[in-house]
Each structure stands twice: as C-alpha cells, then as structure tokens.
Amino acid sequence: MTNFPEIVQEPQFSGSTSPDPAQSLIDSHGRVITDLRVSVTDRCNYKCVYCRTGQVGAQYDELTTEQYLRLIRNFVDLGIEKVRLTGGEPLLRRDLIEMVRELATWRIPAGPNAGQKLDIAITTNGHLLEDLAQPLKDAGLSRVTVSMDAVEQETFERVTRVPGSFPAVVRGIRAAQQAGLGPVKVNCVLLRGFNDDQIEGFGHLARREGIIVRFIEFMPLEEGRLWNLDMVVPVKEIVDRLSTVFPLKPLAPNAASETARRYGFTDGLGEIGIIAPVTQAFCGACSRIRLTSDGKIRTCLFSHREHDIYALLRLGASDHELRAFILQAVEKKEARHHIGEPGFLKPSRSMVHIGG
C-alpha cells in the first residue's frame, strides 16, 4: 500500500457558477451535503498507536478564528447545517470557545430547517474536557463525542501512549454529562489484538452510564503502516459478543445519512452504534465534506485531490467567489472509497492531519 501524491486544485476566480446564498450543496452523484467537519488544528496530545507514529507537533498551519468563521459562513450559506469541530485535538485550540460562541449564534438561512440553530458538535479525546465542558456548553455547543478505545486503564494507556490519560478522560466524560452535553457519545476504534477484548466492557459501560458507545472500524488512515483487513473486527462479531452482555435489537436510524447502525439492548437500557466504513461502506448516503486546518476542502477521507480555498481567501476573494469554489469542489466529490480493493492507495494525509 503506497501513499499517493495529492492533486491540489489551485484557486481560480470562476464566473461559471452563480452561487446564491442558501443554494443547496449537491454533488454530481445527487447527494446533498449538509455536514462540515472542520479541523481546527492537527496538533494532538495523544499518540494513539493506530493513528500516530509518535512524533509530536503540528505538521500544517492553522487558520485564524476569523478566517475559519468567514469560510464556515460561506459553507452555511450554501446549505451546511451541522458543523463538527475536530482535529488533531480541538481542545488544544485556545480560541475554541470563542469560535463555538460565535457559531452558536448562527441560524440556518434557508431550506426545510431555515431559522433553526446551526448544530455544533466537537469530537475530542476528552483529555482537557473536565475544565472545558461547562464553558463549551455555556458557549452554545450542542453535542460532544469522546474517543475512548478501552474501558480498562492499562489497555487504554497502551493505545494512547500517555500515562494518566484514562482517569482524565473519565473525568472529562463525567464533566460533559454534568454540563448537560449528554447523551455523550463515546467512539471506540477496534483493532484486532489491541483492544477487541474490550467489546463486552463497553456494553456494560453503555448500560451503566447512559453513554452511547459507537464502535468504528479501523481505516487505512494511520501515519505509519499498520492497517490490514485482518485487524478490522467485523460487525457481526461485535453484535454477537455484545449480545452476551444482554440481548440486542436493531434501532431505526435517526437520519438517512447516519453513519452508525444503531442497536439497543432489549430491556431499553443503553445504546450501541457500529460504524463500518470498511465492511459495510455508507458512501452512497454520505453528506459530509471536510475543511483541513490549513484551509483545504476535502470531499472524502480518501480523496487524492484537495481544494485550496485558503489560497483563494488570501488572494482577497469575495464571498461570491468563495462560494463558487465550494460548489465546484463539492461537485467533484468522489462516488465512494476503494478500501480493500486491488490498487487501493492511501491518501497522503493521515486522519490526524485531515480531521477525523
């Protein structure tokens, strides 16, 4: 498996499209794009074995809050309704609360949800959440997802490679629940031989703590070379093993574009989600695009093409021109990924540098 040099779409001042505010973002496969994931930094305070090689520090520049807000405003004007702030580790960004506070005042400008508040979520490793949960809630954050790859300290810290990380994250989750950011979602990336012995423990956690636990299949997006299909734990095995904790039943999706298959325990206590981008890809219903911390639009995690909207911003583009650029990028969104197929090439950036 080789990394692939990416094509960067250089900025052009295009007059070909006429982007009105509130125009829907629809790609050439007919998918409506409503979700924007914004990486606010590619720095991270964890060195998770399946993500990082262990070197610390940012690799890419970061936009200023003002630049992020200007770009996000144009995405929202075109139809984005949900913004998820991620990274790297988003809580490392000092002005995060300020950014959330501003975003929380915005309304969806048009469409069936016109007038409703923008949905603002954060994905975090939770290490700094104990102190930040309440200020984030007060600033207007809607939801938080915490990544947590084990329910036992030893396994957890073998994954994060940071001593003391487990109690910090547990305190962070509790603080989020107390701040009213619940139900907190916990995401666990399962890797055969690393943490697949934690499945049943997560089942108990979901039932005990009222946390929605979601298992995510490991994708070939790590900095090093670890991924192979044998490391991916298939959905059926997860469901079978959770059923030994308590019988499970499938739940209806919350939305057509929802990535997780939902399950509830039959006594009504606890919810589980399984996100299976490798074995049961959901590209046909994908509603997401991404903005990297250095201002590139990525239309798929596995894109080999990036769209340099930051360069356009720096050239002094108008909002009209930024929106035309966004529309052009979205139109080129890939039909699907090709993980596991012969000739599959990893993108040149890894998850931590794209924004998970």
**Shortest Å distance, C-beta 339 to ligand SAM:** 10
Total Cβ atoms within 10 A of residue 92: 18
- Give a three-class secondary structure readout of 222-265: CCCCCCCHHHCCCHHHHHHHHHCCCCEEECCCCCCCCCEEEEEE
Kindly state whether residue 222 participates in binding ligand SAM, applying the rule CB under 6 A: yes
Kindly state whether residue 273 participates in binding ligand SAM, applying the rule CB under 6 A: no
Residue 79 or residue 87: which is nearer to ligand SAM going by CB? 87
**Shortest Å distance, C-beta 310 to ligand SAM:** 20
Residue 145 or residue 257: which is nearer to ligand SAM going by CB? 145
Tell me which stretch binds ligand SAM (CB under 6 A): 24-32, 69-77, 101-109, 120-128.
Answer: 120-128
Kindly state whether residue 295 participates in binding ligand SAM, applying the rule CB under 6 A: no
Residue 77 or residue 222: which is nearer to ligand SAM going by CB? 222
**Torsion of the alpha carbons at 28, 294, 141 and 317, rounded to the nearest 10:** -70
Among 218, 263, 265, 310, binds ligand SAM (CB under 6 A): 218
Among 34, 36, 43, 50, binds ligand SAM (CB under 6 A): 50
Where in 129-158 is the site for ligand SAM (CB under 6 A)? Answer: 147
Kindly state whether residue 11 participates in binding ligand SAM, applying the rule CB under 6 A: no
CA–CA distance, 47 with 53 (Å, rounded to integer): 7
CA–CA distance, 202 with 196 (Å, rounded to integer): 10
Strand locations in the chain (E): 3-4, 7-9, 35-39, 82-86, 119-124, 143-147, 185-190, 212-217, 248-250, 260-265, 271-275, 288-291, 296-298, 305-308, 346-347
Among 11, 19, 79, 87, binds ligand SAM (CB under 6 A): 87
Kindly state whether residue 184 participates in binding ligand SAM, applying the rule CB under 6 A: no
> What are the CA-CA distances from residue 48 to residues 43, 78, 80, 155, 170 (Å)?
13, 36, 31, 11, 17
**Shortest Å distance, C-beta 241 to ligand SAM:** 19
> What are the CA-CA distances from residue 243 to residues 122, 269, 335 (Å)?
30, 13, 35
Kindly state whether residue 205 participates in binding ligand SAM, applying the rule CB under 6 A: no
Backbone φ, ψ for residue 296 (5° rounding):
-110, 140
Among 124, 165, 292, 299, binds ligand SAM (CB under 6 A): 124
Kindly state whether residue 25 participates in binding ligand SAM, applying the rule CB under 6 A: no
Kindly state whether residue 123 participates in binding ligand SAM, applying the rule CB under 6 A: yes
Pairing relation of β-strands 305-308 and 296-298? Answer: antiparallel
Tell me which stretch binds ligand SAM (CB under 6 A): 10-18, 168-176, 218-226, 303-311.
Answer: 218-226
Instruction: Give Cα 322 distance to the centre of its chain.
Output: 23
CA–CA distance, 170 with 198 (Å, rounded to integer): 16
Residue 270 or residue 356: which is nearer to ligand SAM going by CB? 356
Binding site for ligand SAM (CB under 6 A): 44, 50-51, 86-87, 89, 123-125, 147, 187, 189, 216, 218-219, 221-222, 351-352, 356
